[in-house]
């Protein structure tokens, strides 16, 4: 009797379960139009027709980017101004497409195309004044809707043992800029080329009497390791943290480089070294036999070293570089330009939302303008030049929003001699504050 009752109960439960499954199956079949597999392909096709999609299913596609805008204040003995909405060229607003596909277990192919905002309100274009019909005016800088520019566009082949070959418009590396080991995006505000923030600021006479046509960028025109050009680049696979590379591109630009990163006993280390040689025609006439054709022959080298104590977050990062003008527009005698800079601070998650940093910096450059025209200063030739700069600031990462806030101050002390006579120049201050958000 009990067995019969249990058997009946089991049959009833099974029938109920089968009924529920049949009902669910009918509902799903109805939703899918009867033929689930065929209709699933149709649904996928419908979705692909109404969304942005890649051209094939063999190569992966990632769309990513960032918006980096700031408020910028600048001041010298003659004037001061504040501009909001400036694009931070330390890490410009941009987006890029990237993807890859596996050819075999050890070989991959891929691509990158990066598009950058190329408006005129950039942190390296902003200055104290503009000119209208040759007259200095305190008007706004040229602005407008701007445009987009191709920053990189290349394809690559990579073997896990032999390394990667990249062809197209690439970052050439070469000489080493500061390697940011802070983990707190310090280089968003204190990039190792100081004139990416205020490079177009005109030098002013001490006391505020005159603006010269020379700018901060004339005294520190280096951007070691950050150039881009069309060519071919090779990078080895990592050898215990060491990666070697080389580049050759248009106008006979050649670089070799080494980068190293590792950690020992709780101390992170990153180092870089590189050399660059440019040998290019500097006029529009490519026929060397025609009068007026000139050539530049320039060598650059730069070295970087960064250290961070992981437990405390204390970091130090520095680089030094040199530019040798063997020929400048066909002429010899141009002095070498040399620079060095150091940044130090602490980077930890002090407040909860993400890593924050507090840093200070000091830098020096000299010789980059020497040997060029001093007509702006009423002389013939710039016989010596230098600029010292120092500053401090902070960054705060907001991990939940892939965002970094930053605020920093820099003070520039430029010096120039024209025909060996010192020119009295105003010191310059800049303050920038803003944020980068990534997507």
Q: Which tens digit of pLDDT belongs to each residue from 335-350?
A: 899 999 999 999 999 9
| pLDDT score recorded for residue 208 | 82
Name the percent of the chain lying above pLDDT 90: 70
Rounded Cα–Cα distance for residues 328 and 280 (Å) = 10
| pLDDT score recorded for residue 327 | 84
Q: What angle do CA 61, 184, 268 make, to 5 degrees?
A: 95
Q: Which tens digit of pLDDT belongs to each residue from 59-98?
A: 999 999 999 999 999 999 999 999 999 999 999 999 999 9
8 Å CB contact between 411 and 360 = no
Question: Higher pLDDT residue, 292 or 108?
Answer: 108
Global pTM exceeds 0.75: yes
Q: Which residue has the tokens 């050819």?
A: 103
Mean pLDDT, to the nearest integer, of 47-67?
Answer: 80
Rounded Cα–Cα distance for residues 322 and 179 (Å) = 17
| Structure tokens belonging to residue 304 | 């970087």
Coil/strand/helix, residue 182: coil
The phi-psi region of residue 329 (left if phi > 0; otherwise alpha if psi is between -120 and 50; otherwise beta) is: left
Query: For residue 351, what are the β-bridge partners?
Result: none
8 Å CB contact between 258 and 241 = no
Question: Higher pLDDT residue, 23 or 335?
Answer: 335
Measured CA to CA in angstroms, residue 350 lies from 1, 165, 186, 190, 355 at distances of 73, 42, 16, 21, 7
Name the percent of the chain lying above pLDDT 70: 82
8 Å CB contact between 159 and 242 = no
Which of these, 326, 347, 348, 329, lies nearest to 337 by C-alpha position?
Answer: 326
Q: Is the pLDDT of residue 19 over 70?
A: no
* Of 126-130, 356-360, 364-368, minimum mean pLDDT range: 126-130
Rounded Cα–Cα distance for residues 162 and 159 (Å) = 5
Q: Which tens digit of pLDDT belongs to each residue from 129-147?
A: 764 444 445 444 455 577 8
Q: Which residue has the tokens 């430029």?
A: 414
168-180: string of b/e by CB count within 10 Å (b at 16+)? bbbbbbbbbbbbb
Rounded Cα–Cα distance for residues 58 and 41 (Å) = 17
């Amino acid at each position: 009797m009990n067995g019969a009752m249990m058997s009946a109960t089991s049959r009833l439960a099974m029938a109920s379960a089968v009924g529920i499954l049949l009902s669910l199956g009918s509902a799903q079949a109805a939703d899918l139009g009867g033929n689930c597999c065929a209709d699933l392909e149709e649904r996928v096709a419908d979705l692909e027709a109404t969304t942005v999609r890649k051209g094939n299913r063999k190569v992966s596609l990632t769309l990513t980017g960032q918006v980096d805008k700031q408020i910028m204040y600048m001041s010298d003995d003659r004037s001061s101004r504040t501009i909001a909405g400036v694009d931070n060229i330390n890490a410009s607003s941009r987006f890029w497409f990237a993807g890859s596909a596996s050819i075999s277990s050890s070989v991959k192919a891929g691509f990158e195309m990066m598009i950058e905002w190329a408006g005129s309100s950039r942190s390296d274009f902003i200055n104290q004044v503009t000119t209208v019909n040759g007259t200095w005016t305190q008007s706004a800088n040229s602005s407008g809707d701007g445009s987009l520019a191709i920053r990189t566009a290349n394809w690559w082949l990579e073997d896990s043992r032999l390394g990667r070959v990249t062809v197209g418009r690439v970052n050439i590396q070469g000489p080493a800029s500061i390697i940011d080991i802070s983990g707190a995006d310090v280089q968003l505000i204190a990039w190792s080329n100081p004139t990416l923030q205020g490079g177009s600021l005109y030098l002013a006479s001490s006391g505020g009497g005159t603006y010269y046509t020379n700018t901060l960028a004339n005294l520190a025109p280096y951007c070691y390791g950050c150039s881009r050009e069309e060519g071919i680049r090779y990078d080895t696979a990592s050898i215990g943290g060491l990666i070697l590379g080389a580049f050759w591109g248009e106008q006979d630009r050649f670089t070799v480089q080494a980068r190293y990163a590792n950690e020992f006993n709780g101390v992170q280390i990153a180092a870089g070294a590189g050399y660059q040689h440019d040998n290019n025609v500097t006029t529009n006439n490519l026929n060397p036999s025609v009068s007026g054709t000139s050539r530049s022959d320039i060598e650059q080298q730069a070295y970087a070293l960064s250290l961070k104590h992981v437990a405390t977050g204390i970091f130090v990062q520095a680089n030094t570089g040199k530019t040798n003008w063997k020929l400048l527009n066909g002429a010899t005698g141009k002095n070498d330009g040399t620079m060095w800079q150091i940044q130090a601070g602490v980077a930890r998650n002090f407040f909860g939302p993400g890593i924050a940093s507090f840093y200070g910096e000091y830098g020096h450059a000299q010789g980059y303008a020497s040997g060029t025209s001093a007509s702006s200063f009423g002389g013939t030739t710039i016989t010596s030049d230098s600029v010292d700069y120092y500053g401090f600031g902070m960054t705060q990462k907001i991990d939940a929003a892939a965002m970094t806030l930053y605020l920093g101050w820099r003070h520039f002390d430029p010096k120039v001699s024209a025909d060996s006579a010192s020119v009295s120049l105003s010191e310059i201050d800049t303050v920038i504050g803003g944020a980068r958000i990534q997507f």
